[in-house]
């Protein structure tokens, strides 16, 4: 939800800001803009509808000089995506410019007040209200920018990560955060501001994570200052980033999504590294070693997440219930947080989030924590809000995921859930040594097995071309592979804009079967386990109505192969590990269909990777 970037130093800021915006474009891309103070003391704002590349074109004949600047790539909340609603926004006096990620909830009452004070507004955004409020407070009380931002934010309800630039003081940038991520990079005589570390990493690995309700002043030739809204002065804690530049570039792949699909053997190996010990036949997860008793004593586990992470959570239910015999509820965070859920002291809440910044997931965690639950996080982004809010947790170590459609984050989340359930089952004596060791042994080979599916990419690409005509798809699966069917459907709709539904295979008879005709593609996730004969019957039901079946089957399958129009094989594995394999062809299928339809795979319309608004 919007990317913000800023620079203050001795270099020309424009190129640094534009590069930073490209790296943050996954967060939103309906308009973009930049504000710079040039050497004559002009505060120039350039902004335009469209992607960052449109902004670059727009700026070609403009004066983009200046060693201080802020920039923004937008995912619209208030006001349609057009030039006037793009950020940065000037204050009426044009002395200030602001960039903002988040929502100012009380913007209407603030706007009415400011209008009465004679302020006029150029845009429909909540952000412009904030910059006018800062301007009003600054001029009324003759305050520095730092103090004015501080005072203004104490009147604001909502979420924000902001950067504010002042025409008459190009040596200072003020930033602040509440519920939207903000990082400051510290270089040699220069500072960077970013929604995440990607615009910063090229220049410095020293960063400060800004916390909620903190206001920051960065100043040329001075140390940064931080003050929270309660007026407490804080010492910046400098962290060293371990991210590297290759992780955030395409590395020869046509799209980030394809790169990330192909990275899965590696990301799973990083995820299991030091945790899954094949030689010892053991899983060592610090979360379970240190807090296993919390899980053991829990009368139930609640898993909450959004989007793809929620699908991983659904697989988690099968894992914990199968191996640990602990009841599990899985709920999308936006529903969980608002339905006044029954949470008891001693419940364990597992929150899953790739970005660690999803607003609904964070709110669900806060709620559960307040009511006495033990909150465990499964998260990819180190130092993110989810990571900081948990009592304990496990990083997925998938590496930066930039394609908006989640792929490697999903498989690493499933891997963490699998390791957690197995380690807990072992601790609780709910799994035999033989089963435990056999699954661990198999788990260690999963990366190689994924690689064999990836090697079959050309066949999947060929099938994909056949189905570009489709307006609808149905995905069916059972057991562990029912959430995989849902994830396959989500991938397809996200990037190809083809409507798709994931269903438990047997449930098809209760509605979706009415949709089946000779045009309708049905993707059946049907590896060879206990429910095979049942899903075989489901395939027969589809074929009897002339649907087109694309089946994901286990190598050597005979029966479904005879019925299906197309089959994609995955290697044999333990049933509990099968989602890690069966999801791969579905990722590739949706990718190649979207490419064949000419879609913008990495930045699909209307979506954003990190959803920091509810």
Q: Which residues are annotated as catalytic? A: 2, 609
Q: Looking at 13-21, 89-97, 435-443, 602-610, which segment touches ligand G6P (CB under 6 A)?
A: 602-610
Min separation Cβ 600 and ligand G6P, Å: 14
- Reference 162, options 3, 293, 313; nearest CA is 3
| Beta bridge pairs of residue 177 | 161, 214
Residue 341 in the binding site for ligand G6P (CB under 6 A): no
C-alpha 603: how far from its chain's center?
13
Applying CB under 6 A, which of residues 64, 180, 198, 309 lies at the interface with ligand G6P? 309
What is the distance between the alpha carbons of residues 131 and 78, in angstroms, rounded to a whole number?
15
Q: x-or-dash pattern for ligand G6P, window 404-433, by CB under 6 A?
A: x-x---------------------------
What gap in Å lies between CA 494 and CA 490, rounded to an integer? 6
Question: Nearest to ligand G6P by Cβ — which residue?
Answer: 307
Residue span binding ligand G6P (CB under 6 A) among the ranges 306-314, 496-504, 579-587, 593-601: 306-314
Shortest separation between residue 605's beta carbon and ligand G6P, angstroms: 12
Q: Is residue 308 part of the contact set for ligand G6P (CB under 6 A)?
A: yes
Distance from chain centroid for Cα 196: 12
Burial classification of residue 447, based on how many CB atoms lie within 10 Å of its CB (0-12 exposed, 13-18 middle, 19 or more buried): buried
Instruction: Tell which one of 354, 481, 538, 587 touches ligand G6P (CB under 6 A).
Output: 354
Distance CA 49, CA 320 (A): 47
Q: What's the closest the beta carbon of residue 37 comes to ligand G6P, in angstroms? A: 35
Helix (H) or strand (E) holding 11: none
Non-local CB neighbours of 542 within 8 Å, separated by 6+ positions: 508, 513, 516, 522, 524, 549
Q: Which of 444, 607 has the CB closer to ligand G6P? A: 607
x/- mask, ligand G6P, residues 361-390, rule CB under 6 A, reads: x-----------------------------
Considering only residues 101, 151, 353, 411, which one is a binding residue for ligand G6P as defined by CB under 6 A?
353
Q: Which of 102-110, 172-180, 296-304, 605-613 is the region at the interface with ligand G6P (rule: CB under 6 A)?
A: 605-613
Distance (Å, rounded) from C-alpha 193 to C-alpha 362?
A: 23
* Position 307 contacts ligand G6P (CB under 6 A): yes
Please say whether the dihedral angle defined by the alpha carbons of residues 108, 113, 115 and 121, taken in this order, is positive or negative: negative
- 265 Cβ contact partners less than 8 Å away, ≥ 6 residues apart: 447, 448, 450, 451, 454
105-134 residues near ligand G6P, rule: CB under 6 A: none
Contact residue for ligand G6P among 165, 185, 609, 612 (CB under 6 A): 609
611 scored as a contact of ligand G6P (CB under 6 A): yes
Is 355 a binding residue for ligand G6P by CB under 6 A? The answer is yes
Instruction: Work out whether the CA dihedral 311, 312, 316, 318 comes out positive or negative.
Output: positive
Question: Residue 179, interface with ligand G6P (CB under 6 A)?
Answer: no
481 counts as binding ligand G6P under rule CB under 6 A: no
Nearer of residues 210 and 305 to ligand G6P, judged by Cβ:
305
Four-residue CA torsion sign, 255, 260, 261, 266: positive
Task: Tell the burial category of 511 from Cβ atoms under 10 Å away from its Cβ (0-12, 13-18, 19+).
Answer: exposed
Neighbours of 208 (CB within 10 A): 21
Give the separation between CA 302 and CA 343, rounded to whole angstroms: 9
CB of 491: closest distance to ligand G6P in angstroms?
A: 9
Q: Is residue 607 close enough to count as binding ligand G6P by CB under 6 A?
A: yes
Binding site for ligand G6P (CB under 6 A): 306-309, 353-355, 358, 361, 404, 406, 607, 609-611
């Amino acid at each position: 939800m919007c990317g913000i970037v800023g620079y203050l130093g001795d270099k020309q800021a424009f190129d640094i800001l534009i590069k930073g915006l490209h790296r943050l474009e996954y967060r939103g891309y309906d308009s973009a803009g930049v504000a710079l103070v040039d050497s004559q003391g002009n505060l120039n704002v350039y902004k335009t509808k469209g992607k960052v590349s449109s902004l670059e074109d727009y700026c070609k004949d403009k004066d983009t000089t200046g060693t201080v600047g802020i920039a923004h790539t937008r995912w619209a909340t208030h006001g349609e995506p057009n030039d006037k609603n793009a950020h940065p926004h000037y204050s009426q006096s044009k002395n200030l410019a602001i960039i903002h990620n988040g929502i100012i909830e009380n913007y209407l009452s603030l706007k009415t007040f400011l209008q009465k004070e004679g302020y006029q507004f150029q845009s429909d955004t909540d952000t412009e209200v904030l910059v006018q409020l800062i301007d009003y407070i600054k001029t009324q009380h003759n305050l520095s920018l730092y103090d004015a931002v501080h005072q203004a934010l104490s009147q604001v309800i909502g979420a924000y990560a902001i950067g504010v630039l002042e025409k008459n003081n190009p040596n200072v940038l003020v930033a602040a955060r509440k519920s939207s991520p903000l990082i400051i990079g510290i270089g040699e005589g220069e500072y960077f501001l970013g929604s995440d570390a990607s615009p910063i990493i090229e220049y410095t690995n020293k960063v400060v994570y800004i916390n909620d309700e903190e206001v920051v002043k960065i100043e040329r030739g001075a140390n940064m200052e931080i003050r929270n809204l309660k007026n407490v002065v804080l010492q910046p804690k400098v962290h060293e980033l371990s991210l590297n530049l290759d992780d955030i570039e395409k590395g020869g792949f046509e799209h980030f999504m394809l790169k990330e699909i192909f990275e899965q053997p590696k990301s799973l190996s990083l995820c299991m590294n030091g945790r899954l010990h094949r030689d010892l036949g053991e899983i060592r997860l610090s979360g379970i070693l240190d807090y296993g008793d919390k899980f053991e004593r829990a009368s139930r586990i609640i898993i909450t997440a959004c989007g793809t992470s929620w699908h991983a959570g659904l697989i988690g239910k099968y894992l914990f219930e199968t191996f640990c015999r602990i009841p599990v509820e899985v709920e999308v965070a936006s529903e969980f947080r608002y339905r006044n859920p029954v949470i008891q002291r001693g419940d364990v809440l597992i929150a899953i989030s790739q970005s660690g910044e999803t607003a609904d997931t964070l709110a669900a965690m806060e709620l559960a924590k307040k009511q006495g639950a033990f909150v465990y996080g499964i998260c990819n982004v180190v130092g993110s809000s989810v990571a900081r809010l948990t009592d304990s947790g496990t990083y997925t170590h998938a590496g930066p995921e930039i394609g908006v459609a989640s792929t490697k984050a999903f498989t690493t989340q499933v891997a963490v859930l699998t390791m957690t359930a197995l380690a807990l089952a072992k601790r609780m004596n709910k799994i035999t040594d033989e089963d435990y060791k056999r699954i661990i042994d198999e788990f260690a080979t999963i990366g190689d097995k994924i690689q064999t599916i990836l090697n079959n990419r050309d066949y999947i690409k060929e099938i994909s071309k056949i189905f570009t005509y489709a307006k609808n798809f149905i995905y069916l699966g059972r057991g562990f592979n029912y959430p995989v069917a849902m994830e396959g459907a989500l991938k397809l709709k996200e990037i190809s804009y083809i409507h798709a539904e994931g269903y438990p295979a047997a449930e098809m008879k209760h509605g979706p079967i009415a949709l089946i005709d000779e045009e309708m593609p049905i993707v059946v996730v049907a590896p060879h386990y206990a429910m095979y004969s049942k899903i075989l019957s489901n395939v027969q039901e589809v074929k009897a109505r002339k649907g087109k079946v694309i089946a994901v089957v286990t190598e050597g399958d005979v029966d479904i192969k005879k019925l299906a129009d197309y089959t994609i094989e995955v290697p044999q594995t333990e049933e509990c590990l099968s989602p890690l394999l069966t999801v791969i062809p579905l990722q590739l299928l949706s990718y190649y269909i979207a490419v064949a339809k000419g879609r913008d795979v990495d930045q699909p319309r209307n979506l954003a990777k990190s959803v920091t608004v509810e």
